Amino acid sequence: MINLVLAMAVQAAGSQQLAGMGAASVDLLVGSWVLVSREDRTADGTLVPEPSLGSDPLGFLVYDRTGHVAVQLMRRVRSTEGVPSVQQGQPDPNNSGATGGYDAYFGTYTLDPKAHTVTHHMLGALLPGDVGKSITRHAAVSEGELRLWFDTVGSSGQPVTRTLVWKRAESVK
C-alpha cells in the first residue's frame, strides 16, 4: 500500500520512474547524491524511529556510468553510548547493517526499468556479513532528486517501508 502511494506521489511530482527509459535511466541516475531524508513508515503511514542512523543522518551516494555504486551513511551525532550495533549479519536480507552509527558499502548496480528498481550488488561493506549481498530498491529519479524505497523490518520488528530522498550534489568549487 505505502509503495503504491509513494510511487503515485513521486509520479505526480514529475519524477520519472525507471520504466521504459533505457539509457535515459542511467543518464539520470549517474552522479553524486546527498541524502535529504531517511524515514521508516508502517503500512498505515505512521513514522517510526530508526535508531541505528537516527532520524536525520548524513549520506552520500555515487553511481557511475560503468555500473559502480558507493554509499556512505552516518548518524549526524555519533558516540559509542546508546548506538545500536549490528556485528553479525542482519535479520532482514534487504538491508545492510550499521555499526556505531555508520553504514557503508560499494559494488555494482543493475537497473530493472520494468520493475522500477535498482539493485546494489555489494562487493565490499562495513560489515563482513553484507559482502556479496544484493539489495533491491524501488527508484524514481528526476534531474535533481532521487527517491529510493524498500520494505524492511523496523527496530521493534514491525514491517516498515524505508524511504531515502537524495538531491543531486552540487559541484565543489
Average pLDDT taken over every residue of the chain: 80
Q: Which amino acid is at 39?
A: E
Q: What is the pLDDT of residue 92?
A: 57
121 is written with which cell numbers?
550488488
Residues 6+ apart with CB under 8 A from 106: 68, 69, 70, 71, 122, 123, 124, 125
Query: pTM for this one?
Result: 0.77
At 76, the pLDDT band (50, 70, 90 cuts) reads confident
Report the C-alpha gap between 56 and 41 in whole angstroms. 15
Q: What is the pLDDT of residue 100?
A: 77
At 10, the pLDDT band (50, 70, 90 cuts) reads very low
Could you list the beta-strand ranges (E) of 28-170.
31-41, 47-48, 58-63, 68-74, 102-112, 117-125, 134-141, 145-153, 159-168
Question: H helices then E strands: how many in the chain?
Answer: 2, 10
Q: What is the pLDDT of residue 55?
A: 81
82: helix, strand or coil: coil
Q: What is the pLDDT of residue 165?
A: 95
23: helix, strand or coil: helix
Could you please state the CATH topology (level 3) that the domain comprising 2-79+86-165 is classified under.
Lipocalin (2.40.128)
pLDDT at 43 over 80: yes
Q: What is the pLDDT of residue 1?
A: 30
